[in-house]
Chain A
Amino acid sequence: MDRTKTGIYIHIPFCRSKCPYCDFYSLASSECSEQYLTALCNELSDKKRLKEYTGEVEGIEIDTVYFGGGTPSLMTPYQLSRVLKAVRTGFDISSDCEITLECNPSSKGLSELLFAAADEGVNRISLGMQSSSDCERRLLGRRGGVSEVENAVKAAKKAGISNISLDVMIGVPDSNEDTVRASLDKAMELDAKHISAYILKIEEGTYYYKHRERYNFPDEDKTADMYLFMSEYLRNNGYIHYEISNFCRDGFHSRHNMKYWDGVPYLGFGPGAHSFFNGKRFYFPRDINAFISESPAVYDGDGGDEEEKILLSLRTFRGISLDKRSDSFIKKAELYEKYGYGKISDGNFSLTPEGYLISNTIISELLSVN
């Protein structure tokens, strides 16, 4: 994996309807607005606003592109093609570039889009399965049944894209080990090369937050048990637990997402998209009109320092080297190992699944002794 080339994130902030747990920036719409797309393409090819942060705008080499949302599969084949063309105009794109398209299995005309996407160089698909139970899917705001996911996977493979990631949500109301196992079995049956398994978090401002009393969310212990079960089950079935919320078959990690944890530069386009470049963090405000009217990106502090490195590295299975760490840091690491929260091998410290579960606490403790 290239640890220097930049990744590109492209935000498509439209959804037919908002899912009750989601707090990403998106607007209700059944299509991707042309006006937005034009603004997006202009920024991708000219980088007018990013110049302030990137300095030199020519010759930025990229090896990942990630379409996230919102619902990128609301784009028409032509729109997708326009955006990728703008990417190619604006950046030096490597031949082995990973190009991921997030898709909602329920999007209309998905097969056609997938064929066109494959032609345009898209080689990885991320599908929001969330659960194999139609009942849980409805609870999570997913329109169609799991059969739609099955069809979407088939369509992707038919179009020649077999690097498929499926999202699974744990901590769903009324869920238990059995429902989690069923979803994982389904993901494996569909030959998912990658599984993103997020613990449901009730974010302020979401539907779930507003109506949290109505739902039977599993408690801290049950959720933790499900997470540990999932990790073990997937590892027993040949997946690598390579990041807190991500599992993959050997060689199929998300190269784009790894850039976040590895401290590699990335540029985000669209409202709410974040960037890290030349040691600076910045983002476009969560306001589509501001983006369209070319409001500038907002500086969000410097990044890439030692503190960040610790907090990001410990999210992954690679962990962090104990070389040159303070005695109290090492002592803490040893204590975590003793209690099963971490492991030390060859002078490297990484977290176990039990440790991932309480990583906020562990990381803040380690930062305080670093």
Chain B
Amino acid sequence: MITKKEHIRNFSIIAHIDHGKSTLADRLLELTETVAKRDMQQQILDNMDIEKERGITIKARAVTLHYKANDGKEYELNLIDTPGHVDFNYEVSRSLAACEGAILIVDATQGVEAQTLANTYLALDHDLELVPVVNKIDLPAADPDRVCADVEEIIGLDCSIAPRVSAKTGENVAEVLEKIVEYIPCPEGDDDAPFKALVFDSVYDNYKGVIVYVRVMDGVLRPGDTMKMMATGAQFTVVEVGRMGATSLESASEIKAGEVGYITASIKSVVDARVGDTVTRADEPANEPLPGYKKANPMVFCGIYPADGADYESLREALEKLQLNDAALSFEPETSGALGFGFRCGFLGLLHLEIIQERLEREYDLDLVSTVPSVIYKIHLSDGSVVDIDNPTNYPDPAIIDFVEEPIADAHIYAPSEYVGTIMDLCQDRRGIFKNMDYIAGDRVDIHYVLPVNEIIYDFFDALKTRTRGYASFDYELTGYERSNLVKLDVLLNGDLIDALSYIIHSEKAYPRARKIAEKLKDNIPRQMFEIPVQIAIGGKVIARETIKAMRKDVLAKCYGGDITRKKKLLEKQKEGKKRMRQFGTVEVPQEAFMAILKLDGQD
């Protein structure tokens, strides 16, 4: 029998970046004494360094708050945090699917912005009840009345109920808890039906194995039960179930319909408990899985190499560890003439790639060199066979290529209408094909384009944000492959081919891009003892060239009254600098040169 779970509320917080999502979450934890004040460190949900620094949430997290409401009853409030980037849209959708409602934060000084809107639509797609909250009322520029009017007009949400708060000072935050209880529906479910739970996150833990975070839809699960993952078919014996405190897990005897909780079952890898999968019981399985499961497939590939060849094994171990926690990360060994032994790694998008790189460097203390990212191209050869290429180095001789197909995405850009012109320019420049444009609310538009994926993986989102002063949000989905006129650009330094810098590009853009690459390399490769020609070629034909002049001056002229140590230290420092360089034949190339090519600015 389906019953209401009156004492439970499952909700998420959605907001535009910097509107105060994490700060409000912190306040809620504090208010409900989920975290003692003395243990409170800023933004407890974002506990990866990178998340704190970039101000974004990468992994979803959940925490249970116990709240005694004004009606005198105790409530269990499950806050499910969501990632905030298009690379992780799928994870966001799964987190939202686990909730009945969401708090929509709007900055009292800024009003409705791109992500406010995009997130609102995502939430409405999942039939969530939205509670608007106007934040940052402590700021002098705050204008809550205007912002409320904005929300009512653009989003059509009734703001008369919206608490006006300052998450920073804590003012009125208690009201938010009351509104959650009052307006967000309680979950429903049948405790007696076969167990069915949605995986919205999974995290590898050294002691417990994978911790699977779930929202239970129906049924009950207890330690000792045999659980089954409906997409992969994998089965495990449940070791522990429970709920999430802010700083630790609290085990329980069972989890049941309507609740948010965790399961451990000595699962070795998150690959076996993917986000979006449905957990059921092996002895009494559910008829069908919950809708919406998608296996996260890598779309962007690049080679990652240790700067010091001796670190190859450490890199492999680090990747293995990261993969335990990241089902979307793929890697396999590869070799490069220029870079030696490394790995071809696959990512959801460029941000995912950057995060993995950063984590490898920080958490595993590795110096890395990575190649220009690529998508998977389908190369149709003259003999009728087709090869998939995710590494430009393997691009076949053009003479034996019949034609090439590249991946295409359906992209939606949400932005205020004043930016339509600049956005269309950008999409046009990225070989986009305009589909249609809808006015969604107020002066907001949804611009629909078909774009080649290789045009959006490098810096599209950055360029979009720059052009729209951060007001645009962007969403894309891979739709298939289309025939395209592509060529491979090769980079030669001092006459030597640097395979790691090869680049696949549409032929119409080859010339300007080649000139730009040559310039960037010239600017980013320090002068060396000898003059170095930089050449960019298609096949054997050089289409752009620059020269890095020979170094002229690198000398410590003065002797500083016999302070030899100073000179020695200077040379030491120089040696350290060299470590970050990669030797290509006679030329030393710093990692920044690779990055510079990767980030060729979208404005040109």
Using a CB–CB cutoff of 8 Å, the interface residues on chain A facing chain B are 9, 11, 24, 68, 198-199, 201, 220-221, 223-224, 227, 244-245, 257, 259-261, 266, 268, 272-276, 281, 283, 300-301, 303, 307-308, 311-312, 339, 341, 356-364, 367-368
| Interfacial chain A residues near B557, Cβ < 8 Å | 198-199, 201, 244-245
Residue in A301, A311, A357 whose CB lies within 8 Å of B567: A311
Residue in A221, A257, A261, A308 whose CB lies within 8 Å of B568: A308
In the bound complex, do residue A339 and residue B530 qualify as a contact, i.e. CB atoms below 8 Å apart? yes
| Interfacial chain B residues near A274, Cβ < 8 Å | 560-565
Q: 8 Å CB contacts to A: which residues of B552-596?
A: 552-565, 567-568, 570-571, 574-575, 578
Residue of A nearest to B527 (CB): A220
In the bound complex, do residue B575 and residue A356 qualify as a contact, i.e. CB atoms below 8 Å apart? no
3 shortest interchain CB distances as A-B pairs: A224-B552, A199-B557, A360-B554
Cα distance A341–B553 in the bound complex, in angstroms? 12
CB distance from A294 to the nearest CB of B (A): 21
CB distance from B153 to the nearest CB of A (A): 49
CB distance from B559 to the nearest CB of A (A): 5
Per-position binary interface string of chain B over residues 126-155, scored 1 when its CB falls under 8 Å from any chain A CB and 0 otherwise = 000000000000000000000000000000
- B437 adjacent to chain A (CB < 8 Å): no
Residue in B549, B558, B561, B574 whose CB lies within 8 Å of A364: B574
Residue in B529, B556, B562, B563 whose CB lies within 8 Å of A341: B529
In the complex with contacts A358-B554, A360-B554, A360-B555, A9-B571 CB distance below 8 A: no
27 residue pairs of the A-B complex, CB under 8 angstroms, read: A198-B557, A201-B558, A220-B551, A220-B552, A223-B553, A244-B557, A245-B557, A266-B562, A268-B562, A272-B561, A274-B564, A281-B565, A283-B563, A303-B564, A307-B568, A311-B568, A311-B571, A312-B564, A358-B552, A358-B555, A360-B554, A360-B555, A360-B556, A360-B571, A362-B529, A363-B571, A367-B571
In the bound complex, do residue A11 and residue B551 qualify as a contact, i.e. CB atoms below 8 Å apart? no
CB distance from A279 to the nearest CB of B (A): 13
Residue of B nearest to A312 (CB): B564
CB distance from A358 to the nearest CB of B (A): 5
| Interfacial chain A residues near B575, Cβ < 8 Å | 364, 367-368
Cα distance A364–B562 in the bound complex, in angstroms? 19
Residue of A nearest to B551 (CB): A358
Residue in B554, B563, B564 whose CB lies within 8 Å of A357: B554
Q: How large is the interface on B (under 10, 10 to 19, 20 to 34, 35 or more residues)?
A: 20 to 34
Cα distance A300–B557 in the bound complex, in angstroms? 21
| Interfacial chain B residues near A68, Cβ < 8 Å | 561
| Interfacial chain B residues near A283, Cβ < 8 Å | 563
In the bound complex, do residue B562 and residue A275 qualify as a contact, i.e. CB atoms below 8 Å apart? yes
Residue in A11, A244, A301 whose CB lies within 8 Å of B565: A301
CB distance from A257 to the nearest CB of B (A): 7
In the bound complex, do residue B561 and residue A24 qualify as a contact, i.e. CB atoms below 8 Å apart? yes
Residue of A nearest to B578 (CB): A364
CB distance from A12 to the nearest CB of B (A): 12
In the bound complex, do residue A360 and residue B574 qualify as a contact, i.e. CB atoms below 8 Å apart? yes
- Of A227, A274, A276, A362, most B-chain CB atoms within 10 Å: A274
In the bound complex, do residue A220 and residue B553 qualify as a contact, i.e. CB atoms below 8 Å apart? yes
Residue of B nearest to A300 (CB): B565
Q: 8 Å CB contacts to A: which residues of B527-564?
A: 527, 529-530, 549, 551-564
Cα distance A341–B555 in the bound complex, in angstroms? 13
| Interfacial chain A residues near B551, Cβ < 8 Å | 220, 358, 361
Residue of B nearest to A335 (CB): B529
In the bound complex, do residue B562 and residue A276 qualify as a contact, i.e. CB atoms below 8 Å apart? yes
Cα distance A275–B563 in the bound complex, in angstroms? 8
Using a CB–CB cutoff of 8 Å, the interface residues on chain B facing chain A are 527, 529-530, 549, 551-565, 567-568, 570-571, 574-575, 578
CB distance from A268 to the nearest CB of B (A): 6
Residue of B nearest to A368 (CB): B575
Residue of B nearest to A270 (CB): B561
Cα distance A356–B567 in the bound complex, in angstroms? 15
| Interfacial chain A residues near B564, Cβ < 8 Å | 260, 274, 276, 281, 303, 308, 312
Q: A198-B558, A223-B553, A311-B568 are in contact. List 8 more A-B contacts (CB 8 A).
A: A245-B559, A273-B562, A274-B563, A274-B565, A283-B563, A341-B529, A359-B556, A364-B571
In the complex with contacts A311-B571, A358-B529, A364-B571, A11-B555 CB distance below 8 A: no
CB distance from B604 to the nearest CB of A (A): 26
Cα distance A261–B567 in the bound complex, in angstroms? 12
| Interfacial chain B residues near A301, Cβ < 8 Å | 565
| Interfacial chain B residues near A363, Cβ < 8 Å | 571
CB distance from B164 to the nearest CB of A (A): 47
| Interfacial chain A residues near B552, Cβ < 8 Å | 220-221, 223-224, 357-358
CB distance from B114 to the nearest CB of A (A): 38
Cα distance A9–B567 in the bound complex, in angstroms? 18
CB distance from B181 to the nearest CB of A (A): 59
| Interfacial chain B residues near A361, Cβ < 8 Å | 529, 551, 554, 574
| Interfacial chain B residues near A220, Cβ < 8 Å | 527, 551-553
Residue of A nearest to B566 (CB): A274
CB distance from B386 to the nearest CB of A (A): 48
In the complex with contacts A311-B571, A360-B574, A199-B561 CB distance below 8 A: no
| Interfacial chain B residues near A281, Cβ < 8 Å | 564-565
Cα distance A336–B121 in the bound complex, in angstroms? 66
In the bound complex, do residue B561 and residue A245 qualify as a contact, i.e. CB atoms below 8 Å apart? no
Residue of A nearest to B559 (CB): A260
Cα distance A130–B109 in the bound complex, in angstroms? 59
| Interfacial chain B residues near A260, Cβ < 8 Å | 559, 562, 564
CB distance from B249 to the nearest CB of A (A): 51
CB distance from A210 to the nearest CB of B (A): 19
CB distance from A10 to the nearest CB of B (A): 10
- Of A244, A341, A357, A364, most B-chain CB atoms within 10 Å: A364
Cα distance A53–B557 in the bound complex, in angstroms? 29
| Interfacial chain B residues near A257, Cβ < 8 Å | 559
In the bound complex, do residue A224 and residue B568 qualify as a contact, i.e. CB atoms below 8 Å apart? no
| Interfacial chain A residues near B530, Cβ < 8 Å | 339
Cα distance A78–B224 in the bound complex, in angstroms? 96
In the bound complex, do residue A357 and residue B553 qualify as a contact, i.e. CB atoms below 8 Å apart? yes
Cα distance A219–B574 in the bound complex, in angstroms? 21
In the bound complex, do residue B570 and residue A360 qualify as a contact, i.e. CB atoms below 8 Å apart? yes
| Interfacial chain B residues near A259, Cβ < 8 Å | 562
In the bound complex, do residue B561 and residue A11 qualify as a contact, i.e. CB atoms below 8 Å apart? yes
CB distance from B550 to the nearest CB of A (A): 9
- Of B551, B559, B565, most A-chain CB atoms within 10 Å: B559
| Interfacial chain B residues near A364, Cβ < 8 Å | 571, 574-575, 578
CB distance from B207 to the nearest CB of A (A): 45
Residue of A nearest to B577 (CB): A364
CB distance from B525 to the nearest CB of A (A): 14
Residue of B nearest to A222 (CB): B552
Cα distance A265–B562 in the bound complex, in angstroms? 10
| Interfacial chain A residues near B558, Cβ < 8 Å | 198, 201, 245
Cα distance A68–B558 in the bound complex, in angstroms? 13
In the bound complex, do residue A273 and residue B553 qualify as a contact, i.e. CB atoms below 8 Å apart? no
| Interfacial chain B residues near A357, Cβ < 8 Å | 552-555
